[in-house]
Amino acid sequence: MTQKTIREALNDALRQEMRRDNNVIILGEDVAGGHGGTGVIDAYGGPLGVTKGLIGEFGANRVIDTPITESAIMGAAAGAAATGLRPIAELMFVDFMGVCFDQIFNQAAKFRYMFGGKTRTPMVIRTTIGAGMRTAAQHSQCLYHMFTSVPGLKCVMPSNAYDAKGLLIEAIRDDDPVIFFENKLLYDHACDVPDESYAIPFGEANVVREGHDITIVAFSRMVHIAEEAAKTLASEGISVEVIDPRTTSPLDEETILESVEKTGRLVVVDESAARCGMAADIAGLVAEKGFSSLKGPIIQITPPHTPVPFSPPLEDAFIPSAATVVAGVHRLLK
């Protein structure tokens, strides 16, 4: 096993699946880069470098640079998926969903149901999420709560490199449309990642840390914030169980409910939205199906109901931090 960053793990996954199946293709803006103009091809290899080198191995017929035209990209991916390819389309920042959402939520997501089960749409949309890079209101959102609410879509958000590889391989092999959310701040996050190919099934939460006083459910980068908080709390004698559902749709309800049964207390840490977000979703789930286990209120730690601000002190205050999680836990235990 070698240490790999999430960026490398994703590149691994893409390369291995493209070798395995000629129908796997990649399309998006600057997934190679350098078409037209005077320079070299693969100048970018993806705006964040994830698809670097793939055009060299698989050629421009399978690693396809497109104009800036997200509806056409997402629609082309959906149409190609429905007719025999397994496209991986890149939506550079999830914030751009507003110019192409129809092709995702009304078309790709609904094909199978609308058409009475007679079609499959095995496409993956890779996109980036998350605040913390000072990229302000239109380049820092998470938005996966919106996708999670759409029947027909699957939503995946790895928090580490091992999961990133296994979940992306699973996503590519999956026969339904999958949105794969990559947190921009985690690309350089590294851990042991096998060189060989492996898939991690959807709907199986990862219990990142076991504990018995309180359950924290967290998503994507917030898993690391939760772990940090858990460490602080451990030093105070509070034992925290941290759960990373890894996929929000399907969601591993069981693992969450079992944990709350054990701890009786739940904090959800989520960056997506203060209203109708993933934190509310998990809280609602437990308030219905796990109510009898609850010893106290369910605390949601989310950003405030504001756009993402640009200025560093504001953005730092916007994102849930270990300190706000710890404070939330204290509030709960009081």
Ligand X SMILES: Cc1ncc(C[n+]2csc(CCOP(=O)(O)OP(=O)(O)O)c2C)c(N)n1
Does residue 246 touch other proteins according to CB under 8 A? no
* Spatial separation of the C-alpha atoms in residues 84 and 92, rounded to whole Å: 24
Residue 221 interacts with, from its own copies, other proteins, ligand X, none (CB under 5-8 Å by kind): none
Q: Which stretch binds other proteins (CB under 8 A): 93-101, 227-235, 285-293, 325-333?
A: 93-101
Q: Which of 284, 281, 263, 259 is nearest to 272 (CA)?
A: 281
Residues 6 or more apart in contact with residue 17 via CB below 8 angstroms: 24, 168, 169, 172, 173, 197
Residue pair 100/68 in contact by the 8 Å Cβ criterion: no
Q: Which of 185, 122, 181, 184 is nearest to 155 (CA)?
A: 181
Active site residue 139: yes
**Cβ proximity to its own copies, 132 vs 309, nearer residue:** 309
Which parts of this chain interact with ligand X (CB under 6 A)? 29, 68, 70, 92, 96, 99
Shortest separation between residue 23's beta carbon and other proteins, angstroms: 8
Does residue 298 touch its own copies according to CB under 8 A? yes
Peptide bond into 250 cis (omega under 30): yes
* Spatial separation of the C-alpha atoms in residues 81 and 179, rounded to whole Å: 14
Active site residue 212: no
- Whole-angstrom CA distances from 270 to 144, 157, 236, 260 are 10, 12, 23, 17
Task: Out of 70, 90, 271, 315, pick the active-site residue.
Answer: 70
Residue pair 28/72 in contact by the 8 Å Cβ criterion: no
Residue 59 interacts with, from its own copies, ligand X, other proteins, none (CB under 5-8 Å by kind): none
Task: Out of 29, 139, 182, 271, pick the active-site residue.
Answer: 139
Q: Which stretch binds other proteins (CB under 8 A): 36-44, 141-149, 210-218, 258-266?
A: 36-44
Shortest separation between residue 85's beta carbon and ligand X, angstroms: 23
Q: Which stretch binds other proteins (CB under 8 A): 171-179, 183-191, 216-224, 287-295?
A: 171-179
- Ramachandran class of 33: left when φ > 0, alpha when ψ lies in -120 to 50, beta otherwise: left
* Residue from 15, 49, 53, 136 in contact with other proteins (CB under 8 A): 136
Element (H, E) at 268: strand 266-269
Contact letters for other proteins, residues 54-73 (x by CB under 8 A)? -------xx-xxxxxx-xxx
Shortest separation between residue 170's beta carbon and its own copies, angstroms: 20
Q: Which stretch binds its own copies (CB under 8 A): 8-16, 82-90, 181-189, 280-288?
A: 280-288
* Spatial separation of the C-alpha atoms in residues 55 and 298, rounded to whole Å: 48
Residue ranges in 73-132 that form contacts with its own copies under rule CB under 8 A:
95-106, 109-110, 113-114
Please give the structure tokens belonging to residue 281: 């979703």
Residue pair 270/301 in contact by the 8 Å Cβ criterion: yes
* Spatial separation of the C-alpha atoms in residues 286 and 322, rounded to whole Å: 23
Residues at the site binding its own copies, with contacts judged by CB under 8 A: 71, 95-106, 109-110, 113-114, 136-138, 145-146, 148-152, 248-249, 251, 272-281, 283-289, 291-292, 294, 296-300, 304-307, 309-310
Residues forming the active site: 70, 139
